[in-house]
Structure 1
Amino acid sequence: MELLNVILVVFLIVCAIAVERTKDLLGAVIIFAAYSLTMAVLWLMLKAPDIALTEAAIGAGATTILFVAVISRTRRMEK
């Protein structure tokens, strides 16, 4: 179980760096959604199901939908 926690935390760090470095805004939103889902799994493993559910619903669900809606109305690539 400890190894899984370390792998998930390393994945979170990689996702955070990838979101910051990508120029494709839609790609950044997808990476951010993966970050949020991974964070929800970590909250669940820490025995905090209420926070995990909130993270999954708001972080990966609503925020991703709002970001995609905004990107659809603007340019996809950053200058």
Structure 2
Amino acid sequence: MDEALNTAALLLVAATATLAVLCRDPERQAVALSVFGLALTVLFLVLQAPDVALAQLVVGTALTPLLILLTARKVRRGPAAGGSGGPGERADRGGPEPGTSGRRTRERR
């Protein structure tokens, strides 16, 4: 019975790891990573390591996918409006165009 449970847990981990690797969309990848973390938690419980299983449950199933989702949201949304002019600030908010000295030139007709 122990061997069958170990094999089933290992197959579950292998299947969910493959699912996480094959996902291309970051949101789906985060969900797949959460399921993978849950499968690893089950494996650690089967292998009689409850302390490692608890840590995996918190970090691998909850925190890491949450950070991935928040990062994907931030990247898709772009920089915050009304920035301080630091790195990532867009030039069309009053600053000079990239590659110019900032001086205005007259247009000749």
Is 1:70 matched with 2:71?
A: yes
Q: Distance in 2 between matches of 1:68 and 1:23?
A: 14
For this pair of structures, how many residues does the alignment match?
A: 75
Structure 1 or 2: more helix by fraction:
1
Deviating more after overlay: 35-44 vs 5-14: 5-14
Equivalences for residues 1-79 of structure 1 within 5 A: 1=1, 2-75=3-76
**Post-superposition CA distance 1:26-52 (Å, at most 9, x none):** 111111111111111111111111100
Amino acid at match of 1:68: L
Gaps in structure 1 of 5+ consecutive residues: none
TM-score, normalising length from structure 2? 0.61
TM-score normalised by length of structure 1: 0.81
Instruction: Please identify, of 59-68 and 7-16, the stretch whose mean Cα deviation from structure 2 is larger.
Output: 7-16
- Is 2:13–2:43's contact at 8 Å kept on the other side of the alignment? no
Q: AA paired with 1:33?
A: S
Unmatched 5+ stretches in structure 2: 77-109
* Displacement after TM superposition at 1:4 (Å): 3.1
Cα root mean square deviation, aligned: 1.4
Cα distance in 1, alignment partners of residues 28 and 5 from structure 2: 26
